[in-house]
Amino acid sequence: MTSFRIVKDEPTGGIDATLRRVAASNADGLTLRIESMPEPAAGWLAADELLGRDELMTALFAQITGVRNRPADHVCAEWMVESWARAVAGLAGSALVCDRRLPDLRPENLLIAPYKGMVGATALRTGAMTALKGDGPAVDAGAAVVPAWIDLADQMHHGLKTLLEPMINWAGDRGLRPVRTLWQAAGDCLAQSLVWSGKAFTEAGFALELTEYLMGLGGEMAVPVDRSVDGAGEPFHLRTTCCLAYRTPEGGLCRACPIDR
């Protein structure tokens, strides 16, 4: 298992270099825990097994807790899907914004470390990635190449949908939350994740352009790209859906909540 915590001035080749930059960056006090791990260590799950086995999904769902008590099942379902969406969107979006590279997003290439039913960390099992044609170090490391960032964005959109669909359908099939609502919640998580990436890598303009392109593709995950700014002038995404935190004794409405607008 390799855990990345060191920044290099420039990527030196494979996806590991990009992961180092991502793991060492932060914005809004948040960092992403992303690792490289060929096989699951203790406490880790293979994404393809999780998404393909009802008993694993059920066990993950059962672990979700609140501050003091477990919330209602529909709230737990919302939190589980949103955590999953933030994790995979953070992995994919930060790599694309940071270095115009995209790791292999197939479920069989992804591991997760659950924490209280949500995603505490993600890991890639291989160095497979796609990069731009002119990215010499990535090409030398064996990356597949595409001519433009839009091609990377198309792959990202497809990869995220493949990762999200099984969990969203699992929750919807059990009547825990409407499928359409969960897809829109995932879109909100993607949009906010790209706000973070824009700040973390000083790429706010490109991150916004990427967000607008991804949402412009349409489909279940598309939400309006609406933003506001906080008291310090920092942007944040205005959500289409509510995360339901206000349905818990400790929670309330956040600044991005549609209920409060």
Cβ-contact 170, 71 below 8 angstroms: no
Question: At residue 3, does pLDDT exceed 90?
Answer: no
Collapsing DSSP to helix, strand or coil, 113 comes out as strand
Q: What is the pLDDT of residues 208-252, one digit of tens each?
A: 999 999 999 999 999 999 999 998 889 999 999 999 988 888 788
pLDDT single digits (tens) 95-154: 999 999 999 999 999 999 999 999 999 999 999 999 999 999 999 999 999 999 999 999
- The answer, yes or no, to whether residue 7 has pLDDT greater than 80, is no
CA distance 117 to 128: 28
Q: How far apart are CA 195 and CA 95, in angstroms?
A: 13
Global confidence as pTM: 0.92
DSSP symbols for 133-153: TT-HHHHHTT-EEESSHHHHH
The token duo for 81 is: 């899907």
Model confidence at 12, in pLDDT bands (50, 70, 90)? Answer: low
Instruction: For 118-135, give the DSSP string.
Output: EEEEEEESS--EEEETT-
User: pLDDT tens digit string along 15-49?
Assistant: 989 998 998 998 888 889 999 999 999 999 999 99
Which H or E element spans position 101? strand 101-103
CA distance 152 to 157: 9
Per the structure, how many domains does the chain have? 1
Range of the domain at 121: 2-260
| Measured distance CA(108)–CA(163) in Å, rounded | 10
pLDDT reading at 6 higher than 80:
no
pLDDT at 9 over 50: no
